[in-house]
Amino acid sequence: MPNSGYIGRFAPTPSGPLHFGSIIAALGSYLQARQCNGKWLVRIEDVDLPRTVPGADKIILKQLESLGLFWDGEIIYQSQRTSLYVAALESLKSFGLTFPCVCTRKDISDKPYPGTCRDAIENSKTSHSIRLKTNDQEISFTDLLQGRYSQRLESDVGDFVIKRTDGLFAYHLAVVVDDAEQEITEIVRGADLLDSTPRQIHIQTLLGYATPDYLHLPVVTDKAGNKISKQSHAEAIDHTSPSNVLFKALDFLGQSPPDMAFDSDTESLLTWAIDNWTLKNIPKTRKIMLA
């Protein structure tokens, strides 16, 4: 069993099958964990219930297995962890760091959030979200691929939502609580989430959690430069040719698998990939167009 102390994770949203962009995050996080002789966990991020497609979680897990990406431990579902998010929210409330907000997206289309409700509605009885107060101290971190990144949240983002108007917990709070509870030491994910990381570090700091290391991989885009996603009806990976999918993903990540590996079985290809996984070969750009 892995025993290095490294714990990584892959955390897909069950809104549909995995597409090639999802596989980049899955494979990158898997290889990083395995080369570090660490654990690789899978968490199903179904906190956003309206986006959840029944049965998609099972499809995703079967896709991972078909690629030879086997995880450690049990699968965690965010929908079963509401009590943890409630406790975290109550802690932030007790520190005087949250406030109810009745602003709609239309009301505050411009960023950053202007603080409209920060001191205006102490006890709102109308439908409202819960926002977390920010400050203008610089939050910076050094990404293992993208380099140093920083934000001043109050100026760049403003107070942000941690519980939605519909009563569901927002991604930023849920993911921070889960990563802390699972003792994740390094987060490997797409560069589309790089801008979100300072908000998550802010929550980690307020709740007294450790901040993991971060590695933001380039995301796959279409010819128009838009990230391919389930919302844009990206095609599911070809389950009939798992080795070909892995080969193409390794090539996308700059790992230059040998041509002879194209027809290898998944086990042999993953063994080669773990042994030869090199961060310096991954393109540092945040986006790469899918050919």
The more confident residue out of 100 and 291 is: 100
Of the candidates 176, 232, 228, the one whose C-alpha atom is nearest the C-alpha of residue 199 is 176
DSSP annotation string for 103-141: --TTTT-SSSP--TTTTT-TT--SS-EEEE----SEEEE
**pLDDT value of position 248:** 92
124 pLDDT higher than 60? no
Q: Region 177-206: what's the mean pLDDT?
A: 98
Lowest mean pLDDT among 113-122, 199-208, 225-234: 225-234
Give the tens place of pLDDT for each residue, 142-166: 999 999 999 999 999 999 999 999 9
In this model, does residue 223 exceed pLDDT 70? yes
The amino acid present at 94, given as its one-letter code, is S
Pairing outcome for strands 129-132 and 160-163:
antiparallel
Q: Which of the two residues, 237 and 116, has the higher pLDDT score?
A: 116
Domains 7-81+184-289 and 82-172 are alike in CATH topology: yes
Q: Could you give the CA distance from residue 78 to residue 29 in angstroms, rounded to a whole number?
A: 19
Find the length of the chain: 291
When pLDDT is averaged across residues 28-54 and rounded to a whole number, the result is 96
Give the DSSP letter of residue 186.
E
Q: Determine the pLDDT at residue 60.
A: 96
For 218, the token pair is 């380039």
Phi-psi region of 254 (alpha: psi -120 to 50; beta: other; left: phi over 0): left
The pLDDT of residue 225? 77
In the chain, where the domains are located: 7-81+184-289, 82-172
pLDDT of 290 strictly over 80: no
pTM (predicted TM-score):
0.93
Cα separation, 150 vs 51, in Å, equals 30
Least confident of 6-15, 100-109, 188-197: 100-109
The set of long-range contacts for 114-121, using a CB threshold of 8 Å and a minimum separation of 24, is 114/158, 115/158, 115/159, 118/159
Class of the domain covering 82-172: alpha beta
Looking at residues 15-30, what average pLDDT do you find?
Answer: 95
Q: What is the pLDDT of residue 121?
A: 65
Q: Would you identify the CATH topology of the domain 7-81+184-289?
A: Rossmann fold (3.40.50)
**Is residue 228 scored above 80 in pLDDT?**
no
- Asked if residue 172 has pLDDT above 90, the reply is yes
Average pLDDT, whole number, for the chain?
A: 91
Contact between 7 and 30 under an 8 Å Cβ cutoff? The reply is no
pLDDT of residue 183 exceeding 90: yes
Distance between CA atoms of residues 101 and 55, nearest Å: 34
Quickly state the pLDDT bin for 213 (edges 50, 70, 90). Answer: very high
* 232 pLDDT more than 60: no
User: Which of 30-34, 78-82, 252-256, 260-264 is the least confident region?
Assistant: 260-264
Average pLDDT over residues 210-228: 89
Question: Which residues have a Cβ under 8 Å from the Cβ of 121 and sit 6 or more positions away?
Answer: 99, 100, 101, 102, 128
What integer pLDDT is reported at residue 222 of this predicted model? 81
Q: Is the pLDDT score of 2 beyond 70?
A: no
pLDDT of residue 122: 58
- Over the stretch 235-281, which tens digit does the pLDDT of each residue have? 777 777 899 999 999 999 999 888 776 667 899 999 999 999 999 99
pLDDT at 1: 53
At 126, the pLDDT band (50, 70, 90 cuts) reads confident
Which residue in 31, 34, 4, 7 sits closest to 183, CA to CA? 7
